Amino acid sequence: MTDTEADTQAFWTDVDRHVLRYGTPFTPRIITHAAGSHVHTADGRRLLDFTSGQMSAILGHSHPDIVATLGRQAATLDHLFSGMLSRPVVDLCRRLAESLPAPLEKTLLLTTGAESNEAAIRMAKLVTGRHEIVSFARSWHGMTQAAANATYSAGRKGYGPSAPGNFAIPAPDAYRPDFTTPDGTLDWRKQLDHAFGLIDAQSTGSLAACIVEPILSTGGVIELPLGYLAALKRKCEERGMLLILDEAQTGLCRTGTWYAFERDGVVPDILTLSKTLGAGLPLAAVVTSPEIEQEAHDRGFLFLTTHVSDPLVAAVGNTVLDVLVREEMDQRAARLGTHLRDGLLGMQKRHEAIGDVRGRGLLQGLELVLDRTSKQGSDEMGTLVTRRCLELGLHMNIVQLPGTAGTFRIAPPLTSTTEELDLGLEILDRAIGEVTPRYLAT
């Protein structure tokens, strides 16, 4: 055994002995460094990253502007007592307000998506004086208490009862419609009316908020139909509820606009941002109106954390905005997204196992099925394609949930080149072509 082989074996032995598993299988490679659209392994391989890390590194890995900001800011001001404010924090709050429609003007800076959703739900409950929360049955909003209570795609079993007053409504899945029009397409209006009929029947009269993603990512890259968000906002207003939009993965240019909700002309009462805001660094935000913020303050809103308003990551957030504006990343994501989608649609014509292609901008979903009539998915087939992609040099992320087994969530960095997208498409095409015919034949 060589020294390198011994070191690798020792690494995985340490993993088995000392790393607590947290719900996702570990990629069987030791990652040593990353740059741009690629991550590099200890055995000298370079993997094209089609997930932007954890769907976060929208400017690629180790972007030079972010590296420079981290060095400069860490050397001058990194962390403060939570009641102290610094220029990077206030500048970022102001700049987020400038990027958003009125009345979204007041921002709280935190660390993770779960934390920002926790704060948003807590604020909504306090401001409305109610406690009931509605979210999609295929939602993912995080693993802290209130966020986990509003998450239905995974992680609900074995932990005891969730908080009272959490309700799920069906996601408007156009590929697998439950309510249909005469031509067989999804009748999302009827579905939404039915869903809120059930909510009204179950509610104790204490509906506080509805929290949703404009595109359900972990739920299978399900895009809300045009008009749905406006109808949902009306449902909320009719019941005195607040609408919280979780744009952890869709915010800041990924879908081809600065925020995904812009397409619908609907402004949420509370907006949460995370992953993309820090471009891979732990930074999140809750943004709301002055009126809601004032009411929350008057009622004693408390969300004091160790890293609230930290200057180091706030400085990174400002740099992210600098790059997004300078490089016109919304337009770039729209162009690259069209290129990526065209490639996926072409692939669908070549492979019977590809049942659906969906998404927006540089957040695309590709779903593998056993056959296009039944639309039955397969965890195993998706896993085999993922494994083959990794062998060929492409890191992919697959959603393995009931009803969506085999959905690839494709989210390359906004800094990707067309050549990198073409390489990823070529590898995915080859992996599907090698794996699925043999699998379907068995």
Catalytic residue check, 330:
no
Nearest to 262 by CA among 272, 251, 249: 251
Catalytic residue check, 275:
yes
Question: What is the residue type of 401?
Answer: L
* Active-site residue (options: 105, 140, 364, 367): 140
Q: What are the φ and ψ backbone dihedral angles of 255, each rounded to 5 degrees?
A: -90, 5
Tokens 């299978």 locate to 220
Nearest to 166 by CA among 109, 124, 209: 209
User: Alpha helices, DSSP H only, in 262-310?
Assistant: 275-278, 290-298
Catalytic residue check, 202:
no
Residues in the chain: 442
Catalytic residue check, 54:
no
> What's the rounded Cα separation, in Å, for the pair 77 and 310?
9
Q: What is the DSSP annotation of 382-425?
A: HHHHHHHHHHHTEE--EE--TT-TTEEEE---TT--HHHHHHHH
* Active-site residue (options: 132, 246, 330, 367): 246
* Active-site residue (options: 275, 332, 360, 388): 275
Catalytic residue check, 246:
yes
Catalytic residue check, 140:
yes
> What's the rounded Cα separation, in Å, for the pair 91 and 112?
20
Provide Rg for the chain, Cα atoms.
22
> What's the rounded Cα separation, in Å, for the pair 418 and 409?
18
Alpha carbon distance, N-terminus to C-terminus of the chain: 38
* Active-site residue (options: 187, 191, 409, 420): 409
* Active-site residue (options: 49, 132, 213, 356): 213
* Active-site residue (options: 249, 348, 364, 400): 249
Cite the active site residues: 140, 213, 246, 249, 275, 409
